[in-house]
A and B are shown apart, each in its own frame.
Chain A
Amino acid sequence: MKLTLKIWRQSDAKAKGNIVDYNVTGIEGDMSFLEMLDVLNEQLIAKGDDPVVFDHDCREGICGACSLQINGEPHGPDRLVTTCQLHMRKFKDGDTIYIEPFRAKAFPVVKDLMIDRSAFDRIQHAGGYISVNTSGNTIDANAIPVNKDDADDAFAAATCIGCGACVAACKNASAMLFTSAKVSQYALLPQGQVEATDRVLAMVNQMDDEGFGNCTNTGACEIECPKGISLENIARMNREYLSASLVTK
């Protein structure tokens, strides 16, 4: 395959970026999208140019490091996959592909396609935990039975990989899907009840402080989420938030 790539290049956070055109050849359908970029980078290094910077690590769709807005879609055209698991067989010989970073005010560009998602970490710092000491002196794990449906729903919410596709897909750059996934996980489990009120308020406040937008229920986040995190989590977080706001002192 021969491809034309239109890639966002930006030398650092303060610089003004722009799209640069590249041609790559010798691309095979079995390559992942990131392996295609590896090929491009090898070509750039051989020519003495600066390779394109992008985040990636596990390359098996679970660490959440890779991102990329590909032809306007987070993680590209395939469903339920991250960019590292997107394969070039989804493209045709001669295609032109636009590759940009995830765009959001709260995700500033670090360099080229690499973005700063530390805002997500700070939302988790604000309340994404159960305050239990890690000494191991807790009750037996089977002392609190958990209804299987609740446990399964909590698990489904907990599979969020924190990649930020939901934010990039949203016209408001909202982080509601991300935040609600963690709020839901704990709201569904008995262990999470004690701090439920404080948790949802703290996490939502932090989310707002980071400059993420609000949710207007377009549902783009759910469609683009590589892990299929459900919009129901946002509804659950809204309920939690409302009831917390009513009882808070």
Chain B
Amino acid sequence: MSILDSKIPEGPLVDKWTKHKNTINLVNPANKRNIDIIVVGTGLAGGSAAATLAELGYNVKTFCYQDSPRRAHSIAAQGGINAAKNYQGDGDSDYRLFYDTVKGGDYRSREANVYRLAEVSANIIDQCVAQGVPFAREYGGLLDNRSFGGVLVSRTFYAKGQTGQQLLLGAYSAMNRQINRGKIQAFNRHEMLDLVKVDGKARGIIARDLVTGEIERHSAHAVVLASGGYGNVFFLSTNAMGSNVMAAWRAHRRGAFFANPCYTQIHPTCIPVSGEHQSKLTLMSESLRNDGRIWVPKRKEDAVAIREGKLKATELTEEQRDYYLERRYPAFGNLVPRDVASRAAKERCDAGFGVNKTGEAVYLDFAAAIQRYGKEKALTSGIENPTAAQVLQLGEEVIENKYGNLFQMYEKIVDENPYKSPMMIYPAVHYTMGGLWVDYNLQTTIPGCYAAGEANFSDHGANRLGASALMQGLADGYFVLPYTIGDYLSKDIRTGKIPTDTPEFDQAEKETRARIEKLMNGAGTHSVDYYHKKLGKIMWDKCGMSRNEKGLKEAIKEISQLREDFWKNVKVPGTANSLNQELEKAGRVADFLELGELFAKDALDRRESCGGHFREESVELTGEQKGEALRDDENFKYVSAWEYKGEPKDAQLHKEELTFDNIELKTRSYK
């Protein structure tokens, strides 16, 4: 019997959440006033949790490293948010959203959690509209939907290409209301450096004021970690520069198990790397794949000529182009899921068909769509026998209406007009499905320490569907945590304020100070970025889109050596007791250097291909699916939850077996 208790309520799938809410303990309003909660991170999950908990009457303290909660990286999400509203009458339901999410996650998520997510999804839209979030509307004044990520219904709500921004500002406004009431105290430009446990329970954090450098103690009856994902372990990703794993990793070191670290989503449509100086990558919304056709030259010499600037993409005829997704996956074509599209691009580039100067880019071509839309538009505008120039102009106008802001962004960054020559794209690290292990109540293996949003592992299995991250963050924060945390806190109504002048806080602060001092006193050979870039390269080459045993073993060794070198030789200028951005980075990279090794270890253990995790040793050998990912349900139908035991190499694996009572396990086929 596993020591992991997922605490999934008994009863039929559809009744679990309702029944659970009806039977868990509540805290009466007068007692809530005496209970403090810390929320780390103010993105969709943290911001919504903080606002709701404060509204219920708890005293909430929020922490974010940015200068304002409004800048959390949820703000950068573009495409939309899923909800099983069935406004389009196209057959959507809670069950379908649940089914799509479990299947999309390649059957590596928990049925009960995912069903709850689908169940509360419709409420999120009601809530956000009531808050004044300006979703896109139709002319009749009702909400508009778009379809996304290859599912069969239109359930995605959106606000142009800025859905994340609008939802985050909604959560931020809810926070502001509570700040104004005095129920939330916001600690901005603060970073959590450690979790403090008292009698085995999470009772506070050690934080650093990033402006003064002061180390502070903050106590609470429960701590919620909503600190996002760890994609920046790859150095280059679509995450914000400051996105980091520190809060989650500090909790892991204090006893919270870390689940499925190897599940990473590599998004197929990002702007390619342009050179060594690159500091981050920019995503182009997945919606572009609805109209763009992806290709590389058929002949290698053409690819070489393009790379050397001797040939232009537009000079190649149809016959000289290889629309490899349409060729390999005739049924889904350019709309295969993210993991499949990413691997196919890598395969072509590795084989020497890449089209930019680094050889790591493929084309996303709108010429066919421009022609198609141009002709349609000419017809509906009553233009008989339109000239080629008219068709082109009309077609470009349609494309501009649909994707104008994305095309403009592309042109600003790449300095090429995507209406005239095809876009260049390449996959990039985008989202991490893994995270802190949580039970049905979103509690980690440390009592009183909760994890929400991307920071936990719970709902997306081995691969996340488009427009589901926003849904999960808000579901956790608005609708799940506020219930489940009450059950835990109902036992704390007589505890009283948690003092911070205790040996536990003394010890945690002492360890934090020692760690900072060690970082400040490196021998001073290389900057923090030097190590971060090195780590990123190991991760990308050996733990990236495809992985094999040899590479993973090398990665483990190389990361551990790099970590040792880092602690000896990192150079952090300035002082610890003042604003010091290099010191902040150093602390974050130090944790990435541990997480990266655990990541590789987890990937090594999972000798199957599933979702975003592709093991070269585990592919279909025969039949129609030859060469495609081969999942192994018999041996790997489990969640890997790693317990900290000192060095990452000593981490101990605990398995949570997954059961599927409501869904039949199938091979994902997109042929």
Chain A residues positioned under 8 Å from B134 (CB to CB): 151, 154-155, 158, 185, 189
User: Could you tell me if A38 and B127 are in contact, using CB atoms closer than 8 angstroms?
Assistant: no
Given contacts A45-B582, A136-B126, contact A63 B73 (CB under 8 A): yes
The segment from B274-282, B445-453, B502-510, B616-624 that touches chain A is B274-282
Alpha-carbon gap, A11 to B232, bound state (A) = 29
B352 to A: closest C-beta gap in Å = 23
User: Could you tell me if B176 and A129 are in contact, using CB atoms closer than 8 angstroms?
Assistant: yes
Task: Using CB atoms, name the residue of chain A closest to B78.
Answer: A62
Within 8 A of B (CB), among A145-175: 145-148, 151-152, 154-155, 158-159, 161-162
| Any A CB within 8 A of the CB of B535 | no
Chain A residues positioned under 8 Å from B141 (CB to CB): 145-148, 151
Alpha-carbon gap, A61 to B124, bound state (A) = 26
| Any A CB within 8 A of the CB of B538 | no
Chain A residues positioned under 8 Å from B51 (CB to CB): 134
Chain A residues positioned under 8 Å from B571 (CB to CB): 45
Given contacts A58-B240, A185-B134, contact A159 B162 (CB under 8 A): yes
User: Could you tell me if B241 and A56 are in contact, using CB atoms closer than 8 angstroms?
Assistant: yes
- Contact residue among A39, A128, A132 (Cβ-Cβ distance under 8 Å from B176): A128
Task: Using CB atoms, name the residue of chain A closest to B133.
Answer: A158
Chain A window 1-20, contacts with chain B (Cβ cutoff 8 Å), 1 for yes, 0 for no:
00000000000100000000
User: Could you tell me if B75 and A63 are in contact, using CB atoms closer than 8 angstroms?
Assistant: yes
By size class, the interface of chain B is: 35 or more
Interface of chain A, main secondary structure = loop
| Any A CB within 8 A of the CB of B671 | no
User: Could you tell me if B140 and A64 are in contact, using CB atoms closer than 8 angstroms?
Assistant: no
Task: Using CB atoms, name the residue of chain B closest to A141.
Answer: B129
Alpha-carbon gap, A177 to B527, bound state (A) = 41
User: Could you tell me if B241 and A57 are in contact, using CB atoms closer than 8 angstroms?
Assistant: yes
User: Could you tell me if B177 and A192 are in contact, using CB atoms closer than 8 angstroms?
Assistant: no
| Any A CB within 8 A of the CB of B1 | no
Number of inter-chain CB pairs below 8 Å: 213
Given contacts A30-B274, A159-B165, contact A138 B68 (CB under 8 A): no
Given contacts A110-B211, A136-B126, A162-B68, contact A60 B76 (CB under 8 A): yes
User: Could you tell me if B413 and A136 are in contact, using CB atoms closer than 8 angstroms?
Assistant: no
Given contacts A87-B415, A155-B159, contact A63 B76 (CB under 8 A): yes
Chain B residues positioned under 8 Å from A28 (CB to CB): 275, 277
User: Could you tell me if A124 and B162 are in contact, using CB atoms closer than 8 angstroms?
Assistant: no
Chain A residues positioned under 8 Å from B75 (CB to CB): 58, 62-63
| Any A CB within 8 A of the CB of B66 | yes
A104 to B: closest C-beta gap in Å = 15
The segment from B106-114, B547-555, B572-580, B600-608 that touches chain A is B572-580
| Any A CB within 8 A of the CB of B437 | no
A116 to B: closest C-beta gap in Å = 7
Chain B residues positioned under 8 Å from A29 (CB to CB): 415
Alpha-carbon gap, A167 to B274, bound state (A) = 34
| Any B CB within 8 A of the CB of A89 | yes
| Any A CB within 8 A of the CB of B309 | no
User: Could you tell me if B280 and A89 are in contact, using CB atoms closer than 8 angstroms?
Assistant: no
- Contact residue among A12, A57, A124, A151 (Cβ-Cβ distance under 8 Å from B240): A57
| Any B CB within 8 A of the CB of A59 | yes
The segment from B91-99, B166-174, B310-318, B325-333 that touches chain A is B166-174
| Any B CB within 8 A of the CB of A180 | no
Chain A residues positioned under 8 Å from B67 (CB to CB): 55, 65, 116-118
User: Could you tell me if B162 and A114 are in contact, using CB atoms closer than 8 angstroms?
Assistant: no
| Any A CB within 8 A of the CB of B151 | no
Alpha-carbon gap, A175 to B138, bound state (A) = 33
Alpha-carbon gap, A49 to B571, bound state (A) = 11
| Any B CB within 8 A of the CB of A73 | no
Alpha-carbon gap, A133 to B51, bound state (A) = 9
| Any A CB within 8 A of the CB of B125 | yes
Alpha-carbon gap, A115 to B141, bound state (A) = 41
Alpha-carbon gap, A80 to B404, bound state (A) = 13
Taking A12-B579, A162-B68, A162-B70 as given, write out 9 further A-B residue pairs in contact, using a Cβ cutoff of 8 Å, ordered by the A residue number: A31-B277, A51-B581, A56-B241, A59-B279, A87-B415, A125-B176, A141-B129, A158-B134, A191-B130
Give 21 CB contacts A-B under 8 Å. A34-B279, A38-B529, A42-B527, A50-B573, A53-B579, A57-B242, A58-B241, A63-B76, A64-B70, A85-B412, A110-B211, A117-B67, A125-B180, A130-B173, A132-B130, A134-B48, A135-B482, A141-B128, A141-B129, A154-B132, A162-B68
* 6 closest Cβ pairs, A-B complex: A145-B141, A129-B173, A136-B123, A155-B134, A141-B129, A138-B130
